[in-house]
Amino acid sequence: MFLVVRIVLREQLVTTTPNPPTAAALGGGGFGAVGIGWRPEIDLTVERLAGVDFVEVIAENVCADHRDHLPESLRVLRARGTAVVPHGVSLGIGGAERPDPARLARLATVATALEAPLVSEHLAFVRAGGMEAGHLLPIPRTRQTLRVVAENIRIAQDALPVPLALENPATLFAWPDNELTEGQFLAELVEATGVSLLIDVANLHTERVNHGIDVAAALDALPLEAVAYVHVAGGMMRDGVWHDTHAHPVPGEVLDILGMLCERTSPPGVLLERDAAFPPADELEGELAAIRGILDRALQSRAPQKSGAAR
């Protein structure tokens, strides 16, 4: 009897309504917030960049046993009111094994120390059978995988003090027996769990080049009301394969996909990622300005048009 009641309660408690943060929660003042990935190599640069509403930090790189242990730059940003989002890379929420309680507890501690509005992770697996892959590996998009990942998401949501957003992956290979498109898979995960989405438009470009997906169709399949924020990044072509390096300038094709996304929805935030080969501050400012321009044009296109000049 207890088991039956517990299962029924579990089904009733699972939300199917996504609850992504507002633009204001990311510092956007009611409009789309613009952010950049905080990295120790460019900490002072990030502090000095104008118009940065929020930053994202790799969660595993932050010691957050106490707020006083946070990097000084992050404390400066938090004191200014800049939102900081922890971005995990090692939870392996797409794996067959349940999320590690210790990793979840650490991620929760980081989120609390940073007073984060949400945390994000990847829809990928990173380990199996006790072995670490060292990469964010794609999951097979099958019904069985969907059930496993949905339960992993629920476990993570229960352990975290703030909402969770999952990122669509960039992949070099695809599983041969996929039963669902990425858009269908993400839509069903959102419906089953209420999880929010981190849409990486650079990863969509990667999927288009490497696997021939139709980006417009992929965007149309996504539950865009669940979008928490968006990633923009650069990459490079090598031997006919697009590599999502985060170490090269953002190409026009990626900005075009961002424009396509913003035609369909108003994302709460858009964040520029850079993880290596950091350029001078003026180049970063130029890429941030390009992102703002796309958000501004999308906002203007939605503004009510005046019926005509007064006579």
Distance CA 207, CA 204 (A): 5
Per-residue pLDDT tens over the stretch 184-231: 999 999 999 999 999 999 999 999 999 999 999 999 999 999 999 999
* pTM given for the model: 0.90
Alpha-carbon torsion angle 193, 136, 59, 152, nearest 10:
30
pLDDT for the residue numbered 131: 62
Per-residue pLDDT tens over the stretch 19-57: 888 899 999 877 799 999 999 999 999 999 999 999 999
All domains in the chain, ordered by first residue: 26-302 (3.20.20.150)
Higher pLDDT pick, 14 / 234:
234
Residues 6+ apart with CB under 8 A from 301: 263
Distance CA 167, CA 147 (A): 18
What are the C-alpha distances in Å from 130 to residues 94, 96, 133, 147, 188? 15, 12, 10, 22, 29
Q: How confident is the model at residue 129 (pLDDT cuts 50, 70, 90)?
A: low
User: With 70 as the cut, is the pLDDT of residue 9 above it?
Assistant: no
Per-residue pLDDT tens over the stretch 51-70: 999 999 999 999 876 556 78
